[in-house]
Structure 1
């Protein structure tokens, strides 16, 4: 079994002030762009909202496939992008994969976009 390295989602407090306070340096801009790309898709936003609204902020891939009305390979691709982006984690239980929202991942991203 291969292991997947999660990329850290930007922590607004540790990384930088909201975009309206000071310019991002090139590394910060690249990190933010990577995070935004991971969620810049209607299907991935729906997956995130379904997972976030599920009990315990966790959902089985079987439920996610049915909810999106697309094929399993497409759902798996979107979940892989969200996992690599640091927004969800994956755990295997028997034959099913479960995806859970990473605590604070969306909050960290939103803090960067809110002017204070």
Structure 2
């Protein structure tokens, strides 16, 4: 499973840590939601999500043409605790991302297709 050096290496990039913290807060987000929240391109977001998935930190699920990401439920409890504490302690740092996500029109319902 994920070791401390692997976790922190994966979270050493700003895009990856911001995406991971948003996913931890919201439970599951699709690529289009992360693009909107992080104000970045689909290729860049997808590349970082692929790295997080290959490390075992995230899992994905496909629904039609859309891909949704969530934390791997098999992660050790300490990983969830680190992410929760980091997200809570840095709410101001993530406030722009959270605001953009909340203001996204047409956010997908999990039972429907994205965007």
Alignment TM class, shorter chain as reference: 0.5 to 0.7
- Which of the pair has more CA radius of gyration? 1
Query: Which of residues 9, 27, 47 in structure 1 aligns to 2:2?
Result: 9
Where do 5+ consecutive residues of structure 1 fail to align?
A: 1-7, 11-31
Cα 1:106/1:59, change in 2 over 3 Å: farther
| Partner of residue 58, structure 1 | 28
Report the TM-score when normalising by structure 1. 0.61
SS in 2 for 1:105: coil
Alignment size in residue pairs: 82
Query: Which of residues 63, 78, 96 in structure 1 aligns to 2:48?
Result: 78
Q: Quote the offset at 1:111 in angstroms.
A: 7.7
Cα 1:78/1:97, change in 2 over 3 Å: same
| Partner of residue 102, structure 2 | none
Q: Does 1:88 align with 2:58?
A: yes
Report the TM-score when normalising by structure 2. 0.62
Q: Does 1:39 align with 2:32?
A: no
CA–CA distance in 1 between the matches of 2:76 and 2:33? 22
Cα RMSD over matched residues? 2.2
Where do 5+ consecutive residues of structure 2 fail to align?
A: 83-115
Q: Deviations over 1:16-64 (max 9, x none)?
A: xxxxxxxxxxxxxxxx42332111111111101111111xx11111101
Cα 1:43/1:103, change in 2 over 3 Å: same
